[in-house]
Structure 1
């Protein structure tokens, strides 16, 4: 009987002392969504030798949208 009580005490003490290891898995999802935006274009006008010319300027990218000046 003494052996059984010693065994029970050992089993119970092992369950109390033994730390419980839990595998924590943290799931984080970073989703970056880029929405296309409409480019803003404006006409720029220039007077060359008495003639009026126009050219598209991209306000979004701050650069010319066309290759050359177009006569109006």
Structure 2
């Protein structure tokens, strides 16, 4: 509201945002009240008698590893 209050035209309803899908029109309420999404891989708990509880990042097996270069 404070952003729109100084604007002499009609109030803002949408905002153009660059995303992975290109440029999209997003409602102003989504810009002023964003929803944060954590898309990091989930950590896996591994129990070890010597080291206690360790966290390992989940493995991404979608791409095979590259062979080592000689």
Q: TM-score range by the shorter chain?
A: under 0.3
More contact order relative to length (CA 8 Å, sep ≥ 6): 1
TM-score normalised by L of structure 1: 0.23
TM-score normalised by L of structure 2: 0.23
